[in-house]
Each structure stands twice: as C-alpha cells, then as structure tokens.
Amino acid sequence: MLQALPYHLKVRDHFAQQTGTWNFFAAVKTREEQLAQYKTELLKNTYKFDVKADAGIYEKVEKAKASLGLEQLPVTVYQAQYTDEMNASIVFLNNEAHIVFSGRITQLLDENELLAILAHELTHVKLYSTLQGELEIAERIIMAIAGNYHSEPAYYETARLYRLYTEIFCDRGAYTVTGETAPVITSLVKIATGLDKISAESYAKQAAEIFSSDSGVKAATVSHPENFIRARAIQLWHEKKEAAEEEIIKMIEGSTDLDQLDVFKQKELLQFTRKFIQLLLKPNWFHSTLVTNLAKQYFPDFSYDDTIVLDEQFAHTISSSHSSIKDYLGYIMLDFALVDGSLEQIPFGWAFQFAESIQLKDVFDAIVKKELQLSDKKLQQHIQNTMAAWYKLKEGEKEQVVLESDASV
C-alpha cells in the first residue's frame, strides 16, 4: 500500500503550525483561465499524443490509473519539441493531469519501462491527492521558500529532501503498477545515460556496493536525485516493504553534515550546541563577563546550568558525528578558550581536558595547531602548560581565580 513517507509528514506538520503561511497557500485556487493558458502553451511547444493514433500510450495510462486508484483522472500525454534532453514531467491543474515527454523516451524505452515512467508520473498525483491535498500544499510552501534568494540554506536542503522522498514515493507507485523493480530501475538509468540496454540486476548490485563501501554516501541533488539512491531504495522496499524505511532514511539523509542541515536538523543542532556550551562552561570560574557575553552571542537567552552532566549518550553522539560537526564543536571550544585573557591558560587546559573526555582530542589539537600556527613540539608544550594550569586550579585555587576574574572586569 502506498503511503506518504515520514519526511513528507514532518514537512507538512512543520508548516501547518505556521497558520498564516499555511492558510495563504491553501487558499490559492487554480482558475480556469490558468489551465486554458497552460494548455495553449503546451499545444504551441509539443506534439499531443492522440488517444486513437497513439493507443499504446493511453492503454498504459489507463492501466496505471487503475492500479493507482485514479480512474476518474483525465490525462493527456505530450512530446516536447525543441529539446534533446530526456525527461518526463507531470503538471496537475484543476484536476487534470498533463504528462510531457522530452527527448527520445518513447523510442528508447520498452513497453514495461514506458509503463513504469507513466506510472511514476501519475503517482505524483496520487501523492498530491492524499491527506486532503495537504502534501501538495506543503510542497508548494517549501519550494517557494527555497526558491527565494534570501532564504536560509536549511530551507533549500529541506526542499531537496522533500523532492527526493517524493521521487522515492513515485518509484514505489511505478513498482506497484509494473509488479517488478526491473523496469523501474532500467527506465531510470536509460533516461539518465541514453543507453539502449541496461541490466537492472547489475545496477542494483552497483548501488548496494556503493553504500556498503561508503557509509557517508547520500543524495546531493534536487530535481534528479542520484539514480543509485533511487535504485537502492526501490530494491530495499521490494525486499522488506515498510521494514525498509529506517534503512532508506539513513541512506538518504546520512549523518548530520554542517553544510547540509534541513530545518529539522538545524533545530536539533541548535539544541545540541546549547547543551554543549553549558557543559563546557559548567565550572564557576568560567562565568566571567567576557565569557558570558560570548555565550549570549550564540544564544541571546543563554543561561548556565550547574546541574548539567555529560552522559554516555551525549558523548556517543559527538564521537559518531560527521567530521564537519566535530570541527564545529572544536571551534566553539577554541572561541571560549581565547575569549577572556584574564583567565590566562586555564580555559585552554580545561578545553583540552574536556575535548579528551568527549573524544574530540585529535580534532581539537588539530584546530589549535592550525589556528595558533604551532609546530608539533609547540603544540605539546602548549597542552602541557595549559593543562598544568588547569590541574593547579583543581587543587584549590578556584576562589582566587574567580576573584581575579571579577577584579579585571
């Protein structure tokens, strides 16, 4: 049974909470003149397949509609002119579907592959028709925001993932209609490569090999998600159905990359960063004015937490993080180690100790060496000297340091 994927629902729920934005997009109605104008443009720039003369295409359309529960949907198929790029797209306006082929798709694909492509495109309508059209509204919202030049990168990433999960969903629709994965995979690869013959089995093995050899591989494009992602996803769904969802999500999203945060991971990283800074600044001697001001640059409502503790789960999250996140945390530690010169070497010593306790020693050492332009020997001397200052503080000079810090303000 075809069901919206978890990411679709996350995006819908996210924007449904923003009632002003949601109501604005939900109120947009397609007018008759808009549909008429679109049809006119299609007729100018395409060849419209005739129901009788091109009966083979429309027979496949009817078969796909029946399997997808779209029997009442009017569908017209066109061949685009003036382009050699192979593609297939669908526009759903005023309860009518218009499928446009580009390039030599009808010559390149066999009967089952052409059925798979038509089914894939019609499954877009299936998705838009579920949940009272809420997913279509969510898609228009995220695409509109992501398309704005001034939008944050997180919205672009959210749109990228939303579109990718939509392609995954539509591949499942194609599989539902054809009853096998081969035409879904071969049609995908033929359109991308232009090759006349493709082995679905070989390509599925190739996709599986990519993920077995590099756990960090994930999708990175918007309009045409990597074919091996989609091939692997449909193969997993064929083998495991709903039980494959967790593996597919991991494959698509991978570990959190600082340069590819969607709105959800951005929020998670903000919460994680707040706790990280609270842990780093837990010692009372670290609560100087300069340190506090820096913390409030990260979070205007920042507050210290004397009860916070470093638990195994938090430490494991750090140790298993993407390298970009580890570097990010390392630079946060460097910021606070350098911000208040009146604390002298103690913050650095504590930072080296803290880095070791959260398994970021090598990362932090490398950052310090680079930013302070130290040789290996100078780095080791710096570590020894600053940690000696930190250990001395632990032995009973805490109050003196606090007083010195306060006096310097």
pLDDT tens by residue, 374-389 = 999 999 999 999 999 9
What are the tokens at 369? 């060496």
The reply to whether 162 falls in a domain is yes
Percent of the chain with pLDDT over 70: 91
Q: What is the pLDDT of residue 403?
A: 31
| CB distance 1 to 123 below 8 Å | no
Q: Across residues 147-172, what is the average pLDDT?
A: 94
Q: Which helix (H) or strand (E) holds 107?
A: helix 105-108
Same domain, 331 and 196: no
The number of residues in the chain equals 409
End of a domain among 192, 223, 253?
253
244 and 268 both lie in a single domain: no
Q: Tell me what pLDDT residue 214 has.
A: 56
Q: Is pLDDT above 90 for 62?
A: yes
User: Is residue 409 very low, low, confident or very high in pLDDT (cuts 50, 70, 90)?
Assistant: very low
Tell me the pTM: 0.87
Same domain, 179 and 295: no
Residue 1 lies in a domain: no
pLDDT value of residue 84: 84
Domain-located, residue 221: yes
**pLDDT of 213:** 59
Judge whether 346 lies within some domain. yes
Count of structural domains, the chain: 2
Could you tell me if residue 258 is inside a domain?
no
Range of the domain at 289: 263-408
What is the pLDDT of the chain when averaged over all its residues? 89
Q: Is the per-residue pLDDT at 28 higher than 90? A: no
**CATH number of the domain bearing residue 206:** 3.30.2010.10
Q: Give the end of a domain, one of 203, 235, 253.
A: 253
CA distance 9 to 19: 16
So what's the pLDDT on residue 209?
85
Per-residue model confidence (pLDDT) at position 31: 54
Chain segment 343-357, per-residue pLDDT in tens: 999 999 999 999 999
| Residue 249 and residue 389 in one domain | no
Q: Which residues contact 226 (CB under 8 A, 6 or more apart)?
A: 219, 220
Q: What is the pLDDT of residues 279-304, one digit of tens each?
A: 999 999 999 999 999 999 999 999 99
**What's the pLDDT tens digit per position in 165-182?**
999 999 999 999 999 999
Residues 318 and 384 in one domain: yes
CB-based burial label for 162 (10 Å; 0-12, 13-18, 19+)? buried
pLDDT tens-place string over residues 184-234? 999 999 999 999 999 999 999 988 888 775 555 665 543 334 788 999 999
For the stretch 83-123, pLDDT in tens is 889 999 998 888 889 999 999 999 999 999 999 999 999 99
Q: 3-state SS string over 351-384?
A: HHHHHHHCCCHHHHHHHHHHHCCCCHHHHHHHHH
pLDDT attached to residue 105: 94
Give the least confident one: 79-83, 194-198, 400-404: 400-404
